[in-house]
Structure 1
């Protein structure tokens, strides 16, 4: 489901794809590693029932350009996101980042706090030596996700087997997109993140959401984020894996919408959270 679609040109000339749907306080969505905006299909429409939802494709994925001559970094992704907000004339927005997108959201919160309303960190981690590492086989699945064998491993990491079998279209949307070299650049950008020292400086109201049985990003990372970010709220969804936002879409989206409703963009820094 798409709304108004457009592109903005980043400072280095890369075209960044975005679309907009709905009305209300702006909500910017950040995709997972090597995924494009279609990963939000389902939750996207429900979120747009209350918000002006902006999806964007990070460089290297979807409708965005894929320069391959320089490393990608989370700061570069933040720059691209700010260019999208500027093109839309949005001064402040809520941000919901999933998986690698949650790491980008952390960087956004540190780099541009004046542009941020509330923050939702889904199935993500602090990075660096403090991050609870995923099992080795899960890392191999990510590295091989562009191959047939890797694709077969991704579905069960995101969803319970029965649910994955019943929803093949959703599984297809969480398979890596874009050139293989761009996928590797995304992997490097995510793996290079260490937000530990900066997390206590995040002042935005924050909700940390995670599936209890997530092996791709172990749930211990959610507790670390919630402890490290001042006054953050932790929501662990029992029995769910990395793709909690799809498998229990109704509950996960309702929790996010209720949280954002408690922090309209007119919130004051001295308001109780």
Structure 2
């Protein structure tokens, strides 16, 4: 399999699902096969095989599924947890290229670079579970969609009420959220990149601010290409799916040229 005909694998963030890519996929065109996977332990994905579930377990599961599809290597794009998984899959030799979008895992264990992010996500889970019965009616109001999704998107009002309610449902149904939000693991330095890696950081990321986690990423991946996605939040597929698609395609085309 050559770089040109390798499929594109899309990996979502923690407590989300493959449907977060629904508006990105059409903008990618039809030049290559696209595989969107829902991670193990997440709604719609395979059940977790053990608890506590580790990020490594999710990566192992993706490798098994790639093997089942007879895909030895793929272009991989991932957001947040999916970005972390993308980089680790590259470390294992499974990536032709990587586009990691606001990737998790770039923190110092026990420091603010990790604690602040996980604390914010824990609050999101708690609030969503308490108010899950009110989510559907609340999401019908654009201003409320924007307010309730403010930690992950600048423009939560641009998606439909059904899409926003699906995001809340994915969050509350995730069976491994406690395990993953308690992890002490992190991305180890990659001094020699196993493949071309683009790290695309959301300009207005409130979960992993580029001024904190992005700085750590630059230290651990000194040879990666870094770009800023303007005007978007931590899950830029909500704010600007066309920008996300263009960024992924550019990362692949730079390697193909």
Moved beyond 6 Å, runs of 4+: 149-153
Give the superposition deviation at 1:86.
Answer: 1.0
Partner of residue 207, structure 1: 198
Q: Following the alignment from structure 2 to structure 1, what is the Cα–Cα distance between the partners of residues 232 and 72?
A: 35
Partner of residue 148, structure 1: 131
Partner of residue 235, structure 1: 227
Give the superposition deviation at 1:51.
Answer: 2.4
Q: Following the alignment from structure 1 to structure 2, what is the Cα–Cα distance between the partners of residues 154 and 193?
A: 28
Paired positions, count: 237
Give the superposition deviation at 1:159.
Answer: 2.0
Which protein, 1 or 2, shows the higher relative CO under an 8 Å CA cutoff with sep ≥ 6? 2
Q: Following the alignment from structure 2 to structure 1, what is the Cα–Cα distance between the partners of residues 206 and 24?
A: 22
| Greater helix share, structure number | 2
Q: Give the match's secondary structure for 2:42.
A: coil
Q: Give the match's secondary structure for 1:199.
A: coil
Q: Following the alignment from structure 1 to structure 2, what is the Cα–Cα distance between the partners of residues 67 and 39?
A: 21
Q: Following the alignment from structure 1 to structure 2, what is the Cα–Cα distance between the partners of residues 82 and 48?
A: 25
> After alignment, is 188-197 or 206-215 more displaced?
188-197
Is the aligned partner of 1:258 residue 2:250? yes
Aligned mate of 1:158, from 152, 157, 176: 152
Output the TM-score relative to the length of structure 2: 0.79
For 1:210-254, what per-residue CA distance to the aligned partner results, in whole angstroms no more than 9, with x for missing partners?
Answer: 221111222232232133214211111233211222312222311
Partner of residue 225, structure 1: 217
| Greater strand share, structure number | 1
For 1:106-134, what per-residue CA distance to the aligned partner results, in whole angstroms no more than 9, with x for missing partners?
Answer: 32222x12x21111111223144267243
> After alignment, is 132-141 or 32-41 more displaced?
132-141
Aligned mate of 2:18, from 37, 42, 48: 37
Counting only pairs closer than 5 Å after superposition, residues 4-83 of structure 1 correspond to structure 2 as 24-67=5-48, 70-83=51-64
Q: Following the alignment from structure 1 to structure 2, what is the Cα–Cα distance between the partners of residues 176 and 235?
A: 31
Partner of residue 140, structure 2: none
Partner of residue 179, structure 2: 188
Structure 2 gaps of 5+ residues are 136-143
Native 8 Å contact 1:122 1:210 kept in 2: yes
Q: Give the match's secondary structure for 1:203.
A: coil
CA RMSD in angstroms comes to: 2.9
Give the superposition deviation at 1:52.
Answer: 1.2
Q: Following the alignment from structure 2 to structure 1, what is the Cα–Cα distance between the partners of residues 128 and 172?
A: 12
Residue 138 to residue 109, structure 1, CA distance change in 2 (3 Å): same
Counting only pairs closer than 5 Å after superposition, residues 108-127 of structure 1 correspond to structure 2 as 108-110=89-91, 112-113=92-93, 115-125=94-104, 126-127=106-107
